[in-house]
Each structure stands twice: as C-alpha cells, then as structure tokens.
C-alpha cells in the first residue's frame, strides 16, 4: 500500500474530507470573484497549505510514499501556486491602472 495508515479513524477521515470540501469552496469562490484580493490570497494560502501537508506526510512523518497518489496533489498545488503568483502580478497591474483612471 502506498499510503501507510497509522492512526486514521473515521473522525480523521471526515476531518480531512471537510478540509478538502472547504478548500474547494474557497477556490470556486475565488474563480467567481477573481479580483477580490483577500479571497485571492486566502485561495493561494489553501494551495500552500495543501503542498505543506502532503510534503510533510512524505518527508517528515513518513506516512505516505512518493507515488502517483501523492504526486498528483503535489503537482496540482505546485502549479496552482505558480499560476496564482503570476496572476497576482496581473491583478496588481490592473488595480494600479484602475486607480490612475479614477485620478
């Protein structure tokens, strides 16, 4: 088995499920209102949190092996962080240009 389950019980599984659901709701809300800077930063943080979680399970706690089941969320989080950091620069440029139009 690629994922070693040491102390996983129903409560921990449901907690992880709720965390995943909450992250997906935040990400969908950001997709709807992409210019909301606070929501954008919160969404970016969810990807950093996911990346840190999966990396810690592999390299710190050794509860997961580096298989496709772990590599997929690592790649999604990494590419999403990269894309959102690039997108953040465009949001800042857009905000500056809108401020110039107001003045």
Q: How far apart are the first and last CA of the chain?
A: 62
The predicted model scores a pTM of: 0.83
Q: Which residue has the tokens 């592999």?
A: 58
Q: Is the pLDDT of residue 39 over 70?
A: yes
Contact 44, 85 (CB under 8 A): yes
Q: What is the pLDDT of residue 61?
A: 92
Strand partners, 3: 64
Q: Is the pLDDT of residue 6 over 70?
A: no
Distance CA 72, CA 75 (A): 5
- Which two tokens mark 87? 């997108």
Count of Cβ atoms closer than 10 Å to residue 24 Cβ: 11
Distance CA 49, CA 8 (A): 20
pLDDT digits (tens, 9 = 90+) for 70-102: 999 999 999 999 999 999 999 888 777 787 777
């Amino acid at each position: 088995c690629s994922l070693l389950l040491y102390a996983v019980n129903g409560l921990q599984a449901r907690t992880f499920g709720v965390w995943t659901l909450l992250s997906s709701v935040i990400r969908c809300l950001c997709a709807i209102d992409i210019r909301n800077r606070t929501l954008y930063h919160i969404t970016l943080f969810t990807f950093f949190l996911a990346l840190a979680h999966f990396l810690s399970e592999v390299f710190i706690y050794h509860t997961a092996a580096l298989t496709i089941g772990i590599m997929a969320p690592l790649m999604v989080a990494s590419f999403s962080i990269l894309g959102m950091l690039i997108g953040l620069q465009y949001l800042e440029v857009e905000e500056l240009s809108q401020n110039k139009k107001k003045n």
